[in-house]
Amino acid sequence: MEIFTTYDEVREKILEDQAMPPHVFNLSGYGGLMFDCACGDMHGVNGHDVQHIASVRPVKAMLKCSNNFYTMVRIKGIFKQTAISEYGYDAKLVDDFVKEKGL
């Protein structure tokens, strides 16, 4: 997993991914599927400590953990799923981006 450390890296990747609202991709069918979080811990994609922030096609979700880190997770597989953490960053890096976009 790539960990971004600057605002510019995060901004570029967010714009490249063309994020959509979280309801576009429903995570409820993935039960206890775990992913490596940018915070260094393992979390469940449906965990009580994780918030689904955005969806990206085909099957990716931006997740925010209770430790205030974002992780982009790609879910791979039909019969047996695997969560692949592509990149992540500390939420502090996007505070400026959120303000800039009025989100």
Domain boundaries, the chain: 2-93
Radius of gyration of the chain (CA): 13
Most confident of 15-29, 50-64, 87-101: 50-64
- What is residue 58's predicted lDDT score, i.e. its pLDDT? 86
Taking residues 67-79, what's their average pLDDT? 93
- In percent, how much of the chain has pLDDT > 70? 94
Helix (H) or strand (E) holding 97: helix 95-101
The pLDDT-based confidence of 102 (bands split at 50, 70, 90) is low
Phi-psi region of 49 (alpha: psi -120 to 50; beta: other; left: phi over 0): alpha
Taking residues 9-32, what's their average pLDDT? 86
Indicate if the pLDDT at residue 97 is higher than 70: no
Q: Rounded to whole angstroms, what are the CA distances from 32 to 48, 63, 82, 93?
A: 11, 15, 11, 29
Q: Tell me: the pLDDT tens digits for 38-51? A: 999 999 998 889 99
- 17 CB neighbour count, 10 Å cutoff: 17
* Nearest alpha carbon to residue 46 among 63, 28, 61: 28
Calculate the CA 2 to chain-centre distance. 12
